[in-house]
Amino acid sequence: MYVYTLPAGLLGRYIGRALRFRVERFAYYLDLTGRSLRRVEVEADSLQPQCEVDHRKFERLLLNFLEVERLSKRTCSYTLDAPRFPRIIYNLEQETTDHLEGSLQLRGETHPVRCSKMLEGPELVVRCPIDTREFNVPRYSILFGLFSVSQHVEVETRVPLKVVKL
């Protein structure tokens, strides 16, 4: 599971860096038949910065140790406020062949989120666009907003088809 962020701000749009975070610890819960997803829980402190990506989300440049440590600490303590809100929870309410609808609980706020679902080669790919303003996530910016992170992030999950019972 990955989280993608985009640069924003007056200068950030042109020389900022789009980043990919890897989710280290998460759990998913199925219904009694074991064929449908009901709930996904992510540990808020388990997001680890991984690399800079290009506009197609391909790995472009790895982050150095200091960048990883600084981004991890800032994401955990300030952006997601993991000590107060240790879990991010997605409850699935409706599933069709091409999308999922459910509610996302992030930083104590719960709002509906619609995710797309598609097959890409040997994987089932689920993409969830999230507007962090709805969840009162503080905006990360430096130099009076010249460099900042976009309020729109995307969570992407890739599941091999041999794992999914279709």
pLDDT digits (tens, 9 = 90+) for 73-95: 988 888 888 999 999 999 999 88
- Residue 65 is part of which domain span? 2-160
In a domain, 62, yes or no: yes
> What is the reported pLDDT for 143?
65
Tokens coding 107: 């930083």
Number of independent structural domains in the chain: 1
Angle at 113 between CA 142 and CA 59, to 5 degrees: 50
d(CA 144, CA 56): 29
C-alpha pair distances (Å), 123 with each of 105, 158, 161: 26, 6, 5
Average pLDDT over residues 143-150: 67
C-alpha pair distances (Å), 36 with each of 17, 40, 88, 94, 164: 36, 12, 20, 10, 10
DSSP 108-140: TEEEEEEEEEEEETTEEEEEEEEEGGGGTPPPP
In a domain, 165, yes or no: no
In a domain, 82, yes or no: yes
In a domain, 166, yes or no: no
Identity of residue 117: K
> What is the reported pLDDT for 116?
94
Share of the chain above pLDDT 90, in %: 28
Tokens coding 138: 């503080």
In a domain, 36, yes or no: yes
Task: Kindly tell me if the per-residue pLDDT of 6 is higher than 60.
Answer: yes
Tokens coding 55: 């506009």
DSSP 13-72: HHH--EEEEEE--EEEEE-TTSSSEEEEEEEGGGEEEEEEE-TT--EEEEPPHHHHHHHH
Report the CATH number at residue 11: 2.40.128.110
Tokens coding 74: 């800032």
In a domain, 140, yes or no: yes
Measured in residues, the chain has a length of 166
In a domain, 102, yes or no: yes
95-106 pLDDT, tens per residue?
Answer: 888 999 999 999
> What is the reported pLDDT for 106?
92
> What is the reported pLDDT for 88?
93
50-68 pLDDT, tens per residue?
Answer: 888 887 777 888 888 998 9
